[in-house]
Chains A and B, each alone.
Chain A
Amino acid sequence: MRKRIKRKHKKAEKPRKLSFRRVKKTLRKIRSKVSRKSFKKHKIKDFISSFTAFPKQNGEFQGSRSAGFEFPSSYHENKLVLLVRDPWWVFAYWEVTPEREKEVLREILQKSLQKDKTVLRVYEITGTSPSHPNSSFDIELNFFTNNWYIDVGRPDTDWIAEIGIRTTHGHFFALVRSNAVKTPRFGLSDVLDEEWMMPDDLYWKLFGRMAGLSDRKSSLDVREVLERYLKGMVSSQSFPAPRKKS
């Protein structure tokens, strides 16, 4: 249900003109903040657990003894990882060392600039290189945040991200760069293979039984109905599969 509402918003807000770009950015920011809320509890837990100690060196390997084990709060490295969750969302986690931050802050000071915010900058790089992104947007971060669900909102698109410091004058200094990811396509491809072609009306009929389509519709209607069916099917899938439950 949530997904359907989200998709609607997306359509409604899709700006056709340049002048809407700002509005879009603001909306995205608000949405990202909203989406963050549900993870907040977990983040606070993360934050607290980040103060717990590295495993003791003299412990034993017995399973029962590991109850006191806590994961390291940091690995003392600079790292930003993107993982694709679905066609619209990308998960990011990261770690930046204080040394790296100091180094970049020094650079900012040397250029007589002033830090404004630490941000997660997300670049859309479909069909281009990371150094020439098609567009980007920022997510402002609190100092203790170390992961984020990014509402990229676009299937079949390539992304890369950086954590960095934005100055009051809008300059950006990267602290760490991520891996590149691609969100999956959501819908039928428009690319057709000449060797493997089937007339459109036949193609849609292939799925007639599956989607319960009527033969009388034009192929355009059928495509719409089929896609709606497939999308519904993907998002309503709910397998019993609780095989590990008793």
Chain B
Amino acid sequence: MEKGYLSIVLHAHLPYVRHPEHERFLEEEWFYEAVTETYIPLVKVFHSLVRDGVDFRLTLSLTPTLLSMLTDPLLQSRYVKHLDRLIELSQKEMERTRPDSAFSPLAEMYHRLFLEAREIFCDRYHNDLAGAFREFQEMGKLEIITCAATHGFLPLLDIHKEAVRAQIRVGVETHKRILGRAPKGIWLPECGYTPGVDEILKENGILFFIMDTHGVLFGSPRPKYGIYAPVYCKSGVAAFGRDPESSKSVWSAEEGYPGDANYREFYRDIGFDLDYDYVRPYLNGDGSRINTGIKYYRITGKTDHKEPYSPHWAREKAAEHAGNFMFNREKQVEYLSGFMDRPPLVVAPYDAELFGHWWFEGPMWFDFLFRKIHYDQNVFKAISLAEYLEKYPCNQKIVPSMSSWGYNGYAEVWLNGANDWIYRHLHKAAERMIDLANQRPHAGGLEARALNQMARELLLAQSSDWAFILKTGTHSAYALKRTKEHLERFMRLWSQLKENSVDTRALESIESTDNIFPDIDYRVYLSKQ
């Protein structure tokens, strides 16, 4: 009998980036990179575990924006073209590195990986990777949870309950449409929680969400089991708190596994290292150097001098780190179970894109970890959050504390001198949306289409990604452009509706550009539901 449980939660998210108006678009690469480097490798891990009879559990949030991109025919076909370019580049690389025994096996490795990605994406899943995740959900291995429609940071949208409700409801609806069942849980964007959000989750049939450690620990009354058991909010929705110990071993820049010298160096990409004319056909649009995904070096140490990557050494290291992670969880669970009158639960959430994209060996680490958990110990079991709640439905009721998992633990990342000015416009747009919905609850035809498109534009403008990028500085021009574009489109439609003169052609044009949430109903913004 196990003494405790481990729940690994992966949060997979990308903002909605889709630019049909351009042949190739720089920021669309985020999606292509994540598909090749994270989502497909994860699917491969799940397959190999199932094939070998390893019982594993993972809670995975697939955000509505990511799901929408994964199921978008334009992005799917563009991804295949992208992959074909990589296959061609890796072929050239095999030629180029042939005389070099250190590099040629690496070029071959990438070539193999890209071919495999193509086989999985095109042949096995017919361009529909969401279908792959659905498959593992059906097997009971993956618990797929949802997220707010466009990853809006809810504590800063909360002055209009209707705006928060729309984020949640449209998220849940998108999840149902694409994954075929209602989500039991939600990943609140950036773990951003403020009391009251749970009421809206409850309305939408959500049973649980994940918080950062201090959100639960600083709740009131004081949570008896700390973060090692979920708590119920007054609404009855459960909150799971993040375990800092297991988080640190993966996240921490100094102590975390991904920084090991044997692992692949992210920052030495042939897109930057090789002769410009040679890589130029594989760069994007404006021709500026970007990552191709082909990287030949290992981290080596804290110097600029880098040694060639050794897949064998990296694999050994990933196995060792998986063993270390498991050992530490065993010790942790044994320790905690000594003080608790029920089996402790360790919740370990991570950004999915860390695995594979940043930490190349991350998916392999998962593979080792789940095998080891299955075969090598009896102290704890991997469990999904929903399963834990079914097993232990009796939990303490508290009011969790406002919090997020961003820098400094609150709203600072999304509310600072670089981005605070957006909120007066986002709030105003939400207010106008709510007013219009309340004034025109029975709109049909063109009017309803315009209102639905306004809802899409508002949601897209609310993505926390834009505030985040404005703060971090890289790509901030793009984040500004997106904030402006969506709010401009929103405002124009608003003026046109006010004057009862909706421009049909212009509306058609933005409907096809911002085509997310095809069946959205603006009445989601009605104050009385």
Contact = CB atoms under 8 A, between A and B. Distances in A.
Interface of A: 3, 38-39, 41-42, 46, 55, 57, 59-64, 66-67, 69, 71-72, 75, 81, 83-87, 91, 93, 95, 147, 179, 182, 184-193, 195-198, 202-203, 205-210, 230, 233-235, 237-246
B509 A147 contact: no
A93 B420 CA distance: 9
Given A196-B221, A237-B405, A63 B423 contact: no
B396 A86 contact: no
Given A3-B408, A63-B19, A71 B487 contact: yes
B156 A83 contact: yes
A35 B425 CA distance: 24
B214 interface: yes
Contacts of B219: 185, 189
A91 B412 CA distance: 10
A240 B358 contact: yes
Contacts of B405: 237, 239
B228 A71 contact: no
A38 B412 CA distance: 14
Contact of B412 (A61, A86, A196): A86
B222 A189 contact: yes
A44 to B, nearest CB: 12
A230 B213 contact: yes
B492 interface: yes
Contacts of A186: 218
B224 A196 contact: yes
B291 A83 contact: no
Interface stretch (B57-65, B112-120, B128-136, B349-357): B349-357
Interface of B: 13-15, 19, 21, 29-30, 33-34, 155-156, 159, 194, 212-214, 217-226, 228, 243-245, 251, 253, 258, 290-291, 331-332, 335-336, 339-340, 351, 353-354, 357-358, 396-398, 401-403, 405-412, 415, 417-418, 420-421, 423-425, 427-428, 465, 468-469, 472, 474-475, 481, 484-485, 487-489, 491-492, 495, 506-507, 509-510, 513
Contacts of B13: 243
A230 B217 contact: yes
Given A193-B224, A233-B213, A87 B410 contact: yes
A245 B475 contact: yes
Nearest to B251: A239
Given A84-B402, A244-B30, A245-B475, A188 B222 contact: yes
20 contacts: A39-B417, A55-B492, A61-B506, A63-B21, A66-B484, A75-B428, A81-B159, A83-B415, A86-B411, A86-B412, A91-B415, A93-B420, A184-B402, A195-B396, A202-B339, A234-B408, A239-B405, A240-B251, A244-B15, A244-B475
B475 A189 contact: no
B218 A184 contact: yes
B396 A84 contact: no
Contact of A206 (B21, B156, B226, B423): B226
A209 B335 contact: yes
Nearest to A212: B245
A214 to B, nearest CB: 14
B371 to A, nearest CB: 25
Nearest to A209: B335
A86 B485 CA distance: 30
A87 B194 CA distance: 12
Contacts of B159: 81, 83, 179
A145 B506 CA distance: 37
A91 to B, nearest CB: 6
B492 A81 contact: no
B401 A184 contact: yes
Contacts of B465: 244
Contact of A188 (B217, B339, B351, B485): B217
B21 A64 contact: yes
Nearest to B332: A209
A214 B219 CA distance: 25
A75 B431 CA distance: 12
Contacts of B411: 83-86
B423 A81 contact: yes
B510 A91 contact: no
Contacts of A81: 159, 423-424, 427
Contacts of A63: 19, 21, 481, 485, 513
- Among B407, B474, B475, chain A packs the most CB atoms within 10 A around the CB of B407
